Amino acid sequence: MHKPAVVAVDPRVDPGECQSMVEVRQGVDALDRALVALLAERQRYMDAAARIKPNRDAVYDSDRIEDVVAKVLVSAKAHHLSPEIAEPVWRLLIDRCIAHEFSIYDRTRS
């Protein structure tokens, strides 16, 4: 016997349609939960990188950092995200991910 499918209801109202701060906050909270899930997945890729990289010197790659930021800025423009938000957020994210990757690298190589 099949169970009926459960359909998740998105509590968000389109930002342009929000009429109250309750709707704005519900949308922001829903997006924050989605961002946490995406960041956790990104972290798992950093865990994989720490496992795969051949040596500790390979963890920090300035060319890769600039490549990632450049790609993010192109995507940000396409999605109308201010570069004044996108660039510093991603640079901090990359910095923290590198620190995490160093930590995992060191812990798994000890």
Residue 56: CB partners within 8 Å, gap ≥ 6? Answer: 102, 105, 106, 109
Residue located via tokens 């509590």? 11
In terms of C-beta density within 10 A (0-12 exposed, 13-18 middle, 19 or more buried), how is residue 50 classed?
Answer: buried
Question: How does the average pLDDT of the chain come out, rounded?
Answer: 93
CATH topology assigned to domain 20-109 = Chorismate Mutase Domain, subunit A (1.20.59)
Backbone phi, psi, residue 82, to 5°: -55, 130
Query: pTM of the predicted model, to two decimals?
Result: 0.85
12 pLDDT band, cuts 50/70/90, is: confident
- Tokens at 14, concatenated: 């389109």
